[in-house]
Structure 1
């Protein structure tokens, strides 16, 4: 069972975390988030202690992959929503960093509690157990060290007692964290990165020595042959070339990861599309507007409500649309739009990419329904509303749900989501439509766990950590792309299958970032050498085999989406038989 959330009572909505960390503090109309540091800091407001305790943008990105600061206390104001989050610490993360400072004298006491000391040692901080909060911005570190004796999830409580000198009243701040600890098997323990690098280095050295030996042997044999030819009295003797059997060695992240050494081809039976650089940027804004003119509506019919996601130049709102035939009725909608600082190129790309699924009708697709392109108004793209929103944010929110939630999301639910995505992609393949950017961030979900695939309009802006520029002035989803797409800029249904395998991996890891430790510039070489992302902890072998088939180097070796639908449906039925 993978932890997650479906309950109506205790489930934290997917966008709650974004609403907490992204808007400027304090958010407009959100007085309920601003509570004084209880009696202590309220009484001391006259002397202005100015206490702030928060996690920096880098720390939040490291823990949950979101670009934002997470404030627990800011200028004496407690954010109880942030303190209530029981954050899950990634398995590979063994330390936490907190930023803090105060403008006047505030004394603190620091303590820890661990619910299972057999699995984890008592946390250690690099500051003393008690003292004064620093007057300048500082960072303190908390070490979380598993013992390696048990496989279990450990709950850690860090308690900060704050005392303002003038009042001697104490305010208690409790920070909860959850961390998975695993039993260390000295025989089968996974090699660390440094160990792997060591073995790779030894292998390279051996290969170099072996190659030198072959070259010396060839030179020696050629020398002997030349002597024999010179001593021969036969004029018609001919030299025979030496043939060496070709050997090929490939290193694997896992033994069951496929690696086809054949050259990358595009003869997979799918229609192949070669994308030239800046092809979207070559479209003018006038041309983009002309393509959507037939579905344009008046701005008066649109009402914007809450901001669901926000990037550098784009926003997604929860909005409503007045029915044309019955003005008394309204439809709930997603509204994609841009900020004032958005350039004409960015607006054009938003409109162009929004048309990717236009005119297609399938229960697992979410194409645009209307646009607003009136003069003097920011262009808007409207899509039907799905009340649990972005799938990637939903999966990550599942990690933040309390551990005792009785309605945790199940593995069967996750496989059902994968089937729906595969069904939508199978429909696109039959219509010879290539998505080119399939990922959890480009899907949405509702409270019935119905998943729909969307376009990638604004994805580069809303999820900047998922896109990288490899020196060609193009931001691309490098970690989701097939090798032929990375190297030759070729896209096909087979490259969409590769991306589906990565999306399936995202589902089983509840929104983790694939290949997070690999330099984007090294991805092509990494994939070409046969390396793939490892099997998730809670993923059955049969399901990982489906992912691995999607990552075959030769596009012809990858399954079709219809085959994936059938395979996943059978696996889903098998899971249901044991529930």
Structure 2
């Protein structure tokens, strides 16, 4: 299938504003190009020859990322299409289809999810206009690129059609995919200019109308905006520009102990355990929430704070952690039948959650020593908290007519996803790799506040969601939530957690469905490396599904970080509550 690019540029005299659109060094490297930047538009002008490079998109790239910025107000509109949806699903991106090119250097990712095996054509049209003056400068760019789906699929450039011997037309040296500007009529230029002006006026009126609508008093919008303002302002949480987008840790999820053997670059597990150590005799188990073969998750009681009975470190004091002196707590405990390895993993995994308090993370406030009997982990009490997976499934239950009894709205599901991203961003900032991100390892309150838990006893409490695929010691792993590189035996990093987050968002949008339910665990690695992914849930917005697709990029470097995911989901939630 031939790769082609058609560029039409209509330039009317204007004191121009700078506009750049290019592929950065990571993208050029992925395409095997020598340039550190490959410009399509530079300083407001098209770059000669930039559209003639075929840029075949290989099977192991989940999409293409463009970088852009402008020094004046450039209005854009974009659309894209797949030539064959049986090979590649319709492309999608998280940014709006119509908007203003950002002043700061930023990027947008177009997800190109494979649906089968073969070659399809990715078509991308981008119309950009500088509207500062009465005369209009417009760039109309249309790009077509081959997209390969499947490891063994090769791009074949078809031979050009035979030339008609009676055709004396002189060929265009720029190729069939380029149009000679000198042959473009002034009538057509004027038509494009007028059309762009009319389009700009319509869009400005529309944006003004929606701005007024969004500023009408509305509780849901106020809550969304307040949440977003808080999100952008907290210096210790996810303040813009403070997080290293490529925080990575060493550690192999397939080592003995999937979660516990991921390297934590902070304090040692031993020092964390000592800082929150409590006497086992101060804990009593009350109401069981979930029970497994060797462990139990329940509501419990913690005796009054007693310096003679409780050893605490600098992080845990009566003032900083009043839960230690309270009565109601949540407890995970070993109940018997556990091996020494199980107990070691139980304590090591929990030690990673000895952190500063955060509204979206259920931090550990007490751990008993294995030397004083069977160990237990103590968490702050959550008055109306339930396991997120159980809550989602409860709200999905239907009556005899198949109608959900207590349906969750799309904005509510997006809000839940945004909080999950925010909690994981907090963990990433503290250089903690969770290694078992899923809805079974989260709590949620009646006010839809999400709290990530440590994953301790996950395989014991939800055995059907873990499988043994020949790992060390026959360990059962959350195979269908794991990133492709981890399934292949590679290290479990923050980027691997991003993949698992995408699967967890899919769980949320399906309200508790099991991912890849019909796929064999032993075949998951081959399935993923061939470009296969989860289907878009029926009620899932395109923007959210595009975000999932970015999380499932085969190359870890192509995935967004939790800082970006948090901002994107909160802003999308704010937009949803504005328009509803």
Task: Give the TM-score of the pair, scaled to structure 1.
Answer: 0.51
Supply the distance in 2 between the matched residues of 1:374 and 1:483 (Cα, whole angstroms): 35
Match of 1:398 in 2: 395
Q: Quote the offset at 1:279 in angstroms.
A: 5.6
The match for 1:346 among 315, 338, 342 is 342
Helix, strand or coil for the counterpart of 2:488?
Answer: helix
**Deviation string for 1:424-465 (max 9, x for gaps)?**
111222222211111111111112111011111100111111
Q: Deviations over 1:399-425 (max 9, x none)?
A: 236577886422211111111111111
Inter-partner Cα distance in structure 1 for 2:370 and 2:485:
41
Do residues 504 (structure 1) and 515 (structure 2) align? no
Q: Please give the secondary structure, in 2, of the residue aligned with 1:317.
A: strand
Q: 1:407 to 1:248 in 2, by over 3 A?
A: closer
Partner of 1:557: 558
CA shift in 2, pair 1:544/1:300, >3 Å: same
Deviations 1:244-301 (A, max 9, x none): xxx994259xxxxxxxxxxxxxx99331423162267899xxx977752332223343
Select the residue among 354, 358, 365 that pairs with 2:354.
Answer: 358
The residue aligned with 2:421 is: 422
Sort the Cα spacing of 1:333 and 1:536 in 2 relative to 1 into closer, same or farther, 3 A: same
Classify the secondary structure of the residue corresponding to 1:308: strand
Other structure's SS at 1:273 match: coil
Return the alpha-carbon distance in structure 2 between the equivalents of residues 507 and 384 of structure 1: 24
Query: 1:480, 1:502 within 8 Å by CA — same for their partners in 2?
Result: yes
Superposition deviation, residue 310 in structure 1: 0.7
Q: Which residue of 2 aligns with 1:277?
A: 255
* SS at structure 2 position matched to 1:491: coil
- CA separation in 2, counterparts of 1:353 and 1:447? 27
- Classify 1:452/1:398 alpha carbon distance in 2 versus 1 (closer, same or farther; 3 Å): same
Per the alignment, residue 34 of structure 1 pairs with: none
Query: What residue in structure 1 maps to residue 575 of structure 2?
Result: 574
Give the secondary-structure state (helix, strand or coil) at the position aligned to 2:149: coil
Say if 1:369 and 1:329 are closer, same or farther in 2 by CA, change over 3 A. closer
Distance 1:381 1:563 in 2: 32
> What is the aligned counterpart of 1:322 among 303, 322, 326?
303
In the other structure, the counterpart of 1:530 is 531
Q: Secondary structure at the match of 1:364?
A: coil
Counterpart Cα distance in 2 of 1:327 and 1:541:
42
Output the CA distance in 2 between the equivalents of 1:497 and 1:412. Answer: 22
Quick one: distance in 2 between partners of 1:566 and 1:294? 33
Partner of 2:155: none
Aligned to 1:457, what secondary structure does the other structure show? coil
RMSD: 3.4
Where does residue 90 of structure 1 map in the other structure? none
Between the aligned partners of 2:432 and 2:287, the Cα distance in structure 1 is 33
Distance in 2 of aligned mates of 1:372 and 1:328: 13
Which sections of structure 1, spanning at least 5 residues, go unmatched? Answer: 1-187, 191-198, 207-246, 253-266
TM-score, normalised on structure 2?
0.51
Q: Kindly report which structure 2 residues correspond to 1:234-383, keeping only aligned pairs within 5 A, or say none.
A: 249-251=148-150, 269-275=246-252, 277-278=255-256, 292-324=273-305, 330-373=326-369, 377-383=373-379
Please tell me whether the aligned partners of residues 365 and 380 of structure 2 are also in contact (alpha carbons under 8 angstroms).
yes
> Rg larger in 1 or in 2?
1
How many residue pairs match? The answer is 324
Q: Distance in 2 between matches of 1:384 and 1:406?
A: 31
Equivalent residue, structure 1, for 2:437: 438
Residue 375 of structure 1 and its aligned partner are, at CA, apart by 5.1
Q: Which sections of structure 2, spanning at least 5 residues, go unmatched?
A: 1-84, 88-114, 120-145, 152-243, 263-267, 306-317
1:144-189 CA-to-partner distances (Å, cap 9, x unmatched) read xxxxxxxxxxxxxxxxxxxxxxxxxxxxxxxxxxxxxxxxxxxx99
Report the 3-state secondary structure (helix = DSSP H, G, I; strand = E; otherwise coil) of the residue aligned with 2:362. coil
Within 5 A, what are the aligned runs for 1:411-490?
411-472=410-471, 473-490=474-491
d(CA) in 2 for partners of 1:439 and 1:360?
Answer: 22
Per-residue CA deviations over 1:309-358 (Å, capped at 9, x if unaligned) read 01111111111223317999743211111222222221221111111221
Please give the residue correspondences for 1:150-165 in structure 2 after superposition, counting only pairs within 5 Å.
Answer: none
After superposition, where does 1:190-201 map in structure 2 within 5 Å? none
Q: How far did residue 377 of structure 1 move?
A: 3.3
Aligned equivalents of 1:328, 1:274: Cα separation in 2: 32
Bigger mean CA offset, 270-279 vs 480-489: 270-279
Q: Tell me the equivalent position of 1:54.
A: none
Q: 1:504 to 1:320 in 2, by over 3 A?
A: same
SS at match of 2:426: helix
Q: Who is 2:178 aligned against?
A: none
Please name the residue that 2:103 is paired with. none
- Counterpart in 2 of 1:409? 408
Partner residue of 1:29? none
The answer on whether the counterparts of 2:280 and 2:368 sit within 8 Å (CA) in structure 1 is yes
Equivalence for 2:519: 518
Residues 35-82 of structure 1: per-residue CA shift (max 9 Å, x gap): xxxxxxxxxxxxxxxxxxxxxxxxxxxxxxxxxxxxxxxxxxxxxxxx
